[in-house]
A and B are shown apart, each in its own frame.
Chain A
Amino acid sequence: MSKVKTGFLVLLGLIWLAPVYLLIVNASKSVDGYDAKTVWKPAGFSLFANFGDAWSKAALGDTLVATTMYSVVAPVLAVLIGAAAGYAIVVLRLKRGFLWFVFIFGGTIFPLQMILMPLFSGYANSGLYDTRTGMIIVYTAISVPFSAFVMRNFFTGIARSVFEAAVVDGGGLFRIFRSIYLPMAGSALAAIFILQATFVWNDLLLGLTLSQSESVRPIMPALTGLQSTYGGAALPTVLAGGLLVSLPTVILFLAAQRFFSRGLALGQF
């Protein structure tokens, strides 16, 4: 029966990969060889040429350092801040914990487009506009609600006795957080980090609105410049660009897999 399980997963996985196949095949077609009627058929392998084209047209190199910084620092901060909040609410039994939780989680309900312009004004007036610090702060802020939510719920699954024993053993609240709860939450922290790092990496609107210099702007605003009616690049180049900027996040997902490989075999299905 486990063969059926595996078979089913493989089939579903292949269907899921179909759009990725389309992406790769069409990003590999040469600029004048693309034909909308045969999107399924591969035709030539100009993938690297198209990569190069997208890279130089969109000046992707300049934005790489900044975007990497944002995608690493902000999620790490958010993970820690969210975990601390979860710890406070669940383990330390913060008074009116549910209210705190709702307040923090509530940060994620605001449609991003609507807070863009006031955020821009605030940033411009406080000097944070077009600074890397400013970008990191805002990326951290939008990642915190998700992080707090996951961590809060994760911590509810840890037995209270763990905390009680640690207190008895003698140890400050911060030390307990750092040396007991954080390590236990390995896979949750990794999941939050990966998902938020990807989100920050793929962000377009915040980068477009809150920055303008090439050394501060993240990678997506640069990439979307390729795709415009008024003289953008040809479709294979646009796709190649999209694929190129996805590579780091794909590698991230691959590398982080080991956090999620622990598991109990569930036996016959």
Chain B
Amino acid sequence: MQRNNRKALAALVIAGALALSACGGGGAAAPKKGEDKPVDSLKFYNDKGGWKDAFTQVGAASKKDVGVGMEPVGYSDSNTYTAFIRSSFRTKEKADLFTWHTGKELQDLVDQKLVAETTDQWTKAIADGNIPEQLKQYFTFGDKQYCVPLNAGYWVMYYNKAIFKKAGITQTPKTWAELTQVADKVKAAGVKPFYQTNILFSFVWFETLLAGKDPDLYDALAAGKAKYTDPGVVEVMNEWKKMIDAGYFSDPGAKTEPQAQLKNGDVAMINFGTWFSGNLNTLKMKAGTDYDFFVIPNVNPDLPKTSMIFETGPVCSAAASDHASTVKKWTDWWVTPQAQTAWANSRGDLSFNPKAEVKDPGLAQLNKDVNGYRLINRWFEATPVPVANKALEVFGAFVTKPGDPMPGLQKIQAEADAYWAKQK
């Protein structure tokens, strides 16, 4: 009996060693470029599971326009998705098309030569007026561009029209002082002026206040050239604390979704990206009738241009993809106004392409005016991950119980110091 046991154990160990070498060993070299085989449909991996219908619509459009279909493979969990994509490069499941994040996440892939370069496509697209020049920097590493934009969301202030009417507000605010007045009127009408949450989007007001006060400091902070403990940042935190203490914000712990809070009149205004229109439409709210939005004025009225926070995500392709020519055909189509019109309207959002015909008139106007603003990359993408992670914890605690901001800021700065030291 014992001999059998030992034999069995030995067999297991050998099998194990073999299997381990098979699964673990493949990470060394960068994957070889496969042969290029044209196909008539591409799989589009994404972490926006909720946009499935929109993706499918676009796939139908691309099939009609250029003969290449697109099939979305959605992941509803962003972290699992990221880990999957990272692991997939070493396997035969590498992605032809996938969504990603700008900033360090994209840089990591570029450094490892895992994503396809798109410099020529960018040059052409900018020349044709399909992509605004301002977006180029976020897709550039070294002197080359990688990936193409998936979308562009601009962060504006959504508001509930009925509540504004009840509070006697007739005009949307054009300055910060006017915004404060609007907030006071709303408060007097018994409604919380602004939405705030302590999970995931706890950074929103931090970025709004800082970008609206000193956009140069904002950019420097993101690049590690300024500190979270600098006086400019501390001032913003104190300003934020004053607003929280004055009762301008909704309960950050509330789990009700923001769109439901706006609809039910729990909150009057929500600071969010333009993709939020889609969320509001799900609740059968109508743009222009039930809700509308205005551009958030700068905190500091002396700045030359209004700061407009935007977020953009890339659509990338694995460098070693077997379908490179089909991918290029598809992405060439993707940036055209025709494709972007279909994409934007499938979600009720606007597009990065100023020539796209957006159905919603408010969004269409914003789309066209884009170059008149100072575009500020959203804090979440602009900040290195370990710093953002720590900061989210600090902000989450801060909005729940605001106190002296210094200890929290010092914690964030400690992470930042450690991170930027490693980058040298």
Contact = CB atoms under 8 A, between A and B. Distances in A.
Given A209-B80, A230-B50, A125 B260 contact: no
Given A126-B22, A232-B50, A234-B260, A227 B83 contact: no
Given A95-B1, A225-B52, A235-B257, A118 B283 contact: no
Given A36-B256, A120-B87, A228-B48, A212 B73 contact: yes
A166 interface: no
Interface residues on B, range: 35 or more
A234 B283 contact: yes
A116 B83 contact: yes
Given A36-B266, A224-B76, A235-B260, A230 B91 contact: no
Contacts of A126: 22-23
A225 B91 CA distance: 25
Interface residues on A, range: 35 or more
Nearest to B258: A229
B213 interface: no
Contact of A231 (B5, B48, B91): B48
A169 interface: no
B238 interface: no
A200 to B, nearest CB: 18
Given A95-B1, A227-B76, A230-B275, A36 B90 contact: no
A101 interface: no
A262 interface: no
Contact of B88 (A57, A124, A226): A124
Contact of B282 (A204, A212, A231): A231
Interface string A139-181: 0000000000000000000000000000000000000000000
Given A125-B23, A130-B93, 20 more contacts: A35-B260, A35-B264, A37-B264, A117-B87, A118-B23, A118-B24, A121-B23, A121-B24, A121-B87, A221-B75, A221-B76, A227-B50, A227-B76, A228-B50, A229-B200, A230-B275, A231-B50, A231-B275, A232-B279, A234-B260
18 contacts: A31-B282, A31-B284, A35-B264, A95-B5, A121-B23, A122-B19, A122-B22, A122-B23, A124-B93, A125-B26, A209-B83, A212-B73, A225-B76, A227-B76, A229-B201, A232-B50, A232-B282, A233-B282
Interface of A: 31-32, 34-37, 57, 59, 94-96, 116-118, 120-122, 124-126, 129-130, 204-205, 208-209, 212, 221, 224-235
